[in-house]
Amino acid sequence: MSDKLRIIKVGGNVIDDPAALSEVLHSFSKMEGHKILVHGGGKKASIFSRKLGIEPQMINGRRITSAEDIDIVTMIYAGLINKNIVAQLQAFTCNAAGFTGADGNSILSIKRPVEPIDFGFVGDVKTVNHPVISQWLQDGICPVFCAITHDGNGQLLNTNADTIASELAIALVKEYETELIYCFEKQGVLADLADDNSVIENIDSIKYEALKNANSIHDGMLPKMENCFHALKNKVSKVCIGNINFLKDETSVHSTLIL
């Protein structure tokens, strides 16, 4: 049986709260075995854009990444957030190293077609170079990925962190028994967004379709759950959504996705 590998994605609101982030990183550092951290960017990039007088452009609630924006997200995600996470993990004696998809050619993307909407410098994952990532894990390194990839021709691309996490989990099933954990501020997928105790503990595809059709799921949760089922369909052995309590104790309340 192959070794277990856990891929933990830490979401936006945790990144924006230094105390919460530090607590998550501490819990992450204590987790045994092979592990990879993937982080989003939270609101820092938008706040920073505005400081520079650049108003973030959105279409249908999704960010357009201009030439100026790709520089900003590279600075914030790959520089400020990623390297401070790495330094904190090192302080917790977790031997982290921070990467974009360009590093080691670890995640190659394709710039999204400009039709029907030109999202700018946004990339969709094409190939995960699992041997290089596996080599880092074997070297005793804990990789920390931010939401930046590259196109192989010198262009960095902004790439959804939830998708990076699921694509890493899928690519690494060739070498590990992989588990995917989305860690955010809520205990799991909520039946009622106003009620933090309404966690749906088990969600299979049928339940998911029913929830979706009833418009019960928060918009931001839908693509995350699509990533979850995509991972399960591609041999990722376990997919969960939860908060820091789940990182500390796997028996605490969370949502488990099932095919």
For a copy of itself, the closer CB: 1 or 51 = 51
| Torsion, CA 123, CA 128, CA 134, CA 140, rounded to 10 | 0
For a copy of itself, the closer CB: 139 or 195 = 139
Q: Give the DSSP letter of residue 257.
A: E
Specify the amino acid at residue 29: S
For a copy of itself, the closer CB: 138 or 205 = 138
Residue ranges that bind a copy of itself, judged by CB under 8 A? 51-52, 71, 74-80, 82-84, 86-88, 90-91, 95-100, 102-105, 132, 135-136, 139, 141, 148, 150, 152-156
For a copy of itself, the closer CB: 87 or 193 = 87
For a copy of itself, the closer CB: 5 or 231 = 5
Sign of CA dihedral 48, 84, 131, 172: negative
Query: Which alpha helices (H) appear in 122-187, and where do they start and end?
Result: 130-138, 161-171
Q: Give the DSSP letter of residue 178.
A: E
Q: Which residues pair with 128 in a beta bridge?
A: 107
* H or E segment and range at residue 109: strand 107-111
Chain centroid to CA 193:
21
- Length of the chain, in residues: 259
**Considering the complex, what minimum distance in angstroms separates the CB of residue 185 from a copy of itself?**
22
42 labelled binding-site residue? yes
Buried b (16+ CB within 10 A) or exposed e, 28-67: bbebeebbbbbbbbbebbbebbeeeeeebeeeeeebbbbe
- Cα(157)–Cα(110) distance, rounded to whole angstroms? 8
* H or E segment and range at residue 38: strand 34-39
For a copy of itself, the closer CB: 4 or 83 = 83
Sign of CA dihedral 189, 221, 6, 172: positive
158 labelled binding-site residue? yes
- Cα(22)–Cα(132) distance, rounded to whole angstroms? 28
Q: Which residues are annotated as a binding site for substrate?
A: 41-42, 63, 158
